[in-house]
């Protein structure tokens, strides 16, 4: 480029030159670098001058066409030229700018803020670009705008002839950036505050983000799962389910989402049931977004509901059967008793072996009938405890203390350390003392029977005490009772009494755990237990409008949790007048509001 080849050493000439063409306006300043050559080459032949004019026009055009504001500044800090964009943005005319000191072109606040004078000086002195910052500039009568600016020295023959101040309007970019960041923060807070798992994955199903809920539900920190395929957090056929879902989404891009259930492994090894909705990410990455809802709690409630329904249905049936059986049973029982009496007399009188045989047979019939009668009675008890009709206000601590006393002996036989914590405050409930006592005895015996009976059967309780103190208790059973308030938005007054019976026995396997409330379910040998203990416990709790559940950890122990509606003080006072109806109705009002939440804080 000839135009650039011409040496040009005279800054004053440049200045004079530039000043000589103020009206050329933006075009002139656009080609700031060229002006020296223009000035130098005007003395050359006309053809070259024509070429210069062409270049000049071309560069003016380029500079005016650029969306960036450009000022050319001479060593005296005077503006040599300003391009169209600058004039537009600053709402000035060229005559107001060109030839002025640059510090005067900008409002003084901005000039100071930019440290313009010092920076220009440095640019001229060092030849190094300066700036690279953002400034806000507000021209009179227009909204504030943000500019990115930079000072670029133009060196010619080792000297800085001029400095180009380049300013770019980044207002829009800034705004978009801020908006993007705000949207991002907004989204992040939504994702983070979600109670469901929100997981994003790359196209290989590897975890990219993992929200707080996911951390909480799985016990795994985001850092520990980053980059890990989600599949690896599942087990067995659930791995295949997740893999198939992701592959299905990849194969069918138009498919909006896939829903399925798959368990994830908690950090502690538990399996967490989760309902998933997985979608393809709406971008080109080919990644996925997975939303997962923890089903542990809903399943627990569903199971409890199913169990209650099942037991209620069984109760109706058991009640019917039991009643029908009792009539013929009474016949057999009375006949056997009569026969037994008759044959006992006969055998004693005659010393007749045949009479003795008949007596023994009658005895066995009688014994068998008693067993059947006991089962039927349990069935009836389970079918209907009559709690609602007989309820009176009572302090559960009294009942609990009695129940513990009743189970001291079996506890000693198994060397179980039986303890009780009832607190200082009364625990008022509406209920039937003997039923609640039976409930707690059943739970305590259940816990005590988790431990093996010791081979040596002490003949007296003193001896038992002695043995247990010598060898030390192998097992611990603890009854704890306390009040609990559930504060919930929609149920203001849910006050409960909770009784927990805990043991440190071998625990109950998950497959047994789901059957423990079923009638006649027992793991003990035939004759060792009726299998009705927990069934009746469930029935009693149900009739007291409470809830019962069993949680168990293999080799850690079992906890039976009974939650009963707490009797309000007001209801308790009412009950003084009418022990049958009003307190119960009052209690009912309170109890029917909501179910208790486990460990509800």
Partner 1 sequence: MATGPDPIIGERSSLSVMAEGNPVAPSVLIVDDEEDLSWILARVAEKAGWSVRRANSGDAALRLLDPSCSSPAGHQSLGFEPFLAFVDLMLPDFDGWELVRRLRSLCPDLRFVVVSGLLDADAPRVRRAVKSGEVAGFLAKPFPLEDFRDWLNRNVDRRVCSPASTEP
336 contacts: CB under 8 Å, gap ≥ 6 = 362, 365, 366, 369
Packing angle, helices 533-543 and 296-350, rounded to 10: 120
Q: Does 365 bind partner 1 (CB under 8 A)?
A: no
Long-range contacts of 38-41 (CB under 8 A, 24+ apart): 38/3, 39/8, 39/13, 39/14, 40/6, 40/7, 40/8, 41/2, 41/3, 41/6
Q: Which stretches of 157-270 are assigned E, i.e. beta strand?
A: 159-169, 197-201, 207-210, 257-265
Out of 98, 249, 380, 413, which residue is the one contacting partner 1 (CB under 8 A)? 380
Min. distance of Cβ 332 from partner 1 in angstroms?
8
Q: Does 322 bind partner 1 (CB under 8 A)?
A: yes
Beta carbons of 406 and 398 less than 8 angstroms apart: no
Termini Cα distance of the chain: 82
Out of 2, 172, 377, 462, which residue is the one contacting partner 1 (CB under 8 A)? 377
Among residues 149, 2, 157, 160, which one has the least CA distance to residue 74? 160
> What does R_g of the chain's alpha carbons equal in angstroms?
46
Q: Does 49 bind partner 1 (CB under 8 A)?
A: no
Q: Does 368 bind partner 1 (CB under 8 A)?
A: no
Using alpha carbons only, what angle is made at residue 430 by residues 428 and 434, rounded to the nearest 5 degrees? 100
What does the DSSP assignment read for 88-149?
A: HHHT--HHHHTTSBHHHHS-HHHHHHHTHHHHHHHHHHH---EEEEEEEE--TTS--EEEEE
Out of 23, 109, 338, 350, which residue is the one contacting partner 1 (CB under 8 A)? 338
Look at strands 197-201 and 207-210 and give their pairing: antiparallel
**Smaller CB distance to partner 1: residue 540 or 587?**
540
What does the DSSP assignment read for 355-402?
A: HHHHHHHHHHHHHHHHHHHHHHHHHHHHH---HHHH-EEEEHHHHHHH
| Span from 163-171, 321-329, 466-474, 477-485 in contact with partner 1 (CB under 8 A) | 321-329
Residues 58-77 that bind partner 1 (CB under 8 A): none
Out of 167, 369, 394, 422, which residue is the one contacting partner 1 (CB under 8 A)? 369
Tokens representing residue 444 in the block = 């305590």
Q: Does 329 bind partner 1 (CB under 8 A)?
A: yes
Residues 250-289 that bind partner 1 (CB under 8 A): none
Min. distance of Cβ 529 from partner 1 in angstroms?
21
Packing angle, helices 46-65 and 34-41, rounded to 10: 160
Instruction: Report how far residue 167's alpha carbon sits from residue 149's, in angstroms, rounded to the nearest whole number.
Output: 4
Is 231 strand, coil or helix?
A: helix
Out of 53, 183, 330, 348, which residue is the one contacting partner 1 (CB under 8 A)? 330
Among residues 497, 489, 481, which one has the least CA distance to residue 591? 497
**Residue located via tokens 């990410």:** 281
Q: Residue 469's CB: how many other CB atoms inside 10 A?
A: 10
Residue 454 has φ and ψ, to the nearest 5°, of -75, 145
Min. distance of Cβ 422 from partner 1 in angstroms?
26
| Span from 169-177, 208-216, 316-324, 522-530 in contact with partner 1 (CB under 8 A) | 316-324
Out of 323, 409, 457, 573, which residue is the one contacting partner 1 (CB under 8 A)? 323
Q: Does 345 bind partner 1 (CB under 8 A)?
A: no
| Span from 327-335, 347-355, 420-428, 486-494 in contact with partner 1 (CB under 8 A) | 327-335
Instruction: Report how far residue 272's alpha carbon sits from residue 293's, in angstroms, rounded to the nearest whole number.
Output: 10
Q: Does 385 bind partner 1 (CB under 8 A)?
A: yes
Q: Does 373 bind partner 1 (CB under 8 A)?
A: yes
Q: Does 349 bind partner 1 (CB under 8 A)?
A: no
Instruction: Report how far residue 164's alpha carbon sits from residue 162's, in angstroms, rounded to the nearest whole number.
Output: 7
Interaction pattern, residues 457-496, with partner 1; x per rule: CB under 8 A? ----------------------------------------
Number of residues that bind partner 1 (CB under 8 A): 27
Q: Does 119 bind partner 1 (CB under 8 A)?
A: no
| Span from 21-29, 199-207, 384-392, 587-595 in contact with partner 1 (CB under 8 A) | 384-392
| Span from 52-60, 106-114, 331-339, 450-458 in contact with partner 1 (CB under 8 A) | 331-339
Q: Does 384 bind partner 1 (CB under 8 A)?
A: yes
**Smaller CB distance to partner 1: residue 300 or 371?**
371
Q: Does 427 bind partner 1 (CB under 8 A)?
A: no
Q: Does 333 bind partner 1 (CB under 8 A)?
A: yes
Tokens representing residue 99 in the block = 């030839």
**Residue located via tokens 């790359």:** 202
**Smaller CB distance to partner 1: residue 11 or 579?**
579
Min. distance of Cβ 525 from partner 1 in angstroms?
26
**Smaller CB distance to partner 1: residue 333 or 446?**
333
**Smaller CB distance to partner 1: residue 17 or 385?**
385
Is 454 strand, coil or helix?
A: coil
Min. distance of Cβ 213 from partner 1 in angstroms?
48
Min. distance of Cβ 330 from partner 1 in angstroms?
4
Min. distance of Cβ 532 from partner 1 in angstroms?
14
| Span from 32-40, 322-330, 403-411, 486-494 in contact with partner 1 (CB under 8 A) | 322-330
Q: Does 389 bind partner 1 (CB under 8 A)?
A: yes
> Which runs of consecutive H residues, i.e. helices, occur in 449-514?
461-471, 510-513
Instruction: Report how far residue 399's alpha carbon sits from residue 497's, in angstroms, rounded to the nearest whole number.
Output: 13
Using CA atoms, how far residue 262 sits from 206, 328, 359, 480, 521, in Å, is 17, 53, 64, 37, 30
Look at strands 130-137 and 145-156 and give their pairing: antiparallel
| Span from 274-282, 376-384, 448-456, 581-589 in contact with partner 1 (CB under 8 A) | 376-384
Min. distance of Cβ 331 from partner 1 in angstroms?
4
Q: Does 392 bind partner 1 (CB under 8 A)?
A: no
Among residues 311, 336, 7, which one has the least CA distance to residue 159? 7
Residues contributing to the site for partner 1 (CB under 8 A): 322-324, 326-335, 337-338, 341, 369, 373, 377, 380-381, 384-386, 389-390, 435
């Amino acid at each position: 480029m000839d135009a650039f080849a011409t040496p040009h050493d005279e800054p004053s000439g440049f200045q004079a030159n530039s000043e000589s063409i103020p009206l050329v306006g933006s075009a002139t300043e656009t080609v700031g670098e060229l002006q020296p050559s223009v000035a130098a080459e005007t003395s050359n032949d006309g053809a070259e001058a024509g070429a210069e004019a062409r270049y000049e026009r071309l560069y003016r055009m380029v500079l005016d066409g650029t969306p960036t504001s450009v000022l050319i500044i001479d060593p005296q800090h005077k503006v040599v030229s300003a391009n169209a964009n600058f004039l537009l943005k600053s709402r000035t005319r060229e005559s107001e700018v060109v030839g002025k000191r640059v510090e005067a072109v900008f409002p003084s606040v901005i000039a100071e803020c930019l440290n313009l004078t010092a920076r220009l000086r440095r640019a001229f002195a060092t030849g190094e670009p300066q700036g690279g910052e953002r400034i806000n500039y507000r021209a009179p009568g227009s909204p504030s705008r943000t500019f990115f600016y930079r000072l670029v020295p133009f060196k010619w023959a080792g000297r800085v002839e001029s400095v180009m101040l380049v300013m770019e309007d980044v207002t829009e970019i800034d705004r978009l950036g801020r908006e993007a960041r705000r949207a991002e923060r907004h989204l992040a807070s939504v994702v983070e505050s979600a109670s469901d798992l929100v997981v994003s994955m790359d196209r290989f199903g590897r975890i990219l983000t993992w929200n707080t809920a996911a951390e909480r539900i799985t016990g795994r920190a985001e850092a520990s799962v980053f980059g890990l395929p989600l599949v690896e957090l599942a087990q067995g056929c659930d791995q295949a389910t997740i893999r198939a879902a992701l592959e299905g989404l990849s194969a069918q891009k138009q498919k909006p989402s896939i829903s399925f259930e798959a368990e994830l492994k908690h950090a502690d090894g538990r399996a967490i049931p989760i309902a998933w909705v997985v979608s393809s990410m709406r971008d080109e990455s080919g990644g996925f977004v997975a939303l997962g809802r923890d089903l542990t709690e809903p399943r627990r409630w569903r199971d409890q509901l199913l169990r209650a329904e099942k037991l209620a249905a069984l109760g109706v049936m058991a009640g019917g059967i039991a009643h029908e059986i009792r009539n013929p049973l009474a016949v057999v029982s009375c006949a056997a008793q009569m026969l037994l009496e008759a044959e006992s007399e006969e055998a004693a009188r005659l010393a007749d072996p045949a009479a003795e045989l008949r007596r023994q047979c009658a005895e066995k019939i009688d014994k068998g009938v008693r067993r059947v009668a006991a089962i039927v009675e349990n069935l009836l008890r389970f079918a209907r405890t009559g709690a609602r009709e007989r309820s009176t206000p009572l302090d559960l601590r009294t009942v609990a203390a009695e129940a513990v006393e009743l189970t001291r002996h079996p506890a000693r036989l198994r060397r179980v350390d039986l303890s009780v914590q009832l607190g200082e405050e009364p625990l008022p409930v509406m209920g039937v003392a003997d039923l609640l006592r039976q409930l707690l005895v059943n739970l305590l015996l259940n816990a005590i029977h988790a431990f093996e009976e010791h081979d040596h059967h002490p003949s007296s309780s003193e001896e038992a005490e002695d043995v247990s103190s010598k060898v030390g208790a192998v097992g611990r059973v603890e009854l704890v009772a306390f009040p609990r308030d559930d504060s919930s938005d929609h149920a203001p007054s849910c006050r409960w009494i909770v009784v927990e019976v805990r043991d440190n026995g071998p625990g109950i396997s998950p497959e047994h755990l789901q059957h423990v409330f079923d009638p006649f379910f027992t793991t003990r040998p035939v004759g060792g237990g009726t299998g009705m203990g927990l069934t009746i416990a469930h029935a009693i709790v149900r009739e007291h409008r409470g809830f019962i559940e069993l949680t168990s950890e293999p080799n850690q122990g079992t906890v039976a949790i009974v939650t009963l509606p707490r009797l309000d003080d007001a209801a308790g006072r009412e009950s003084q007048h009418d022990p049958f109806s009003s307190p119960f109705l009052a209690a009912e009002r309170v109890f029917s509001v909501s179910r208790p939440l486990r460990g509800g804080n």
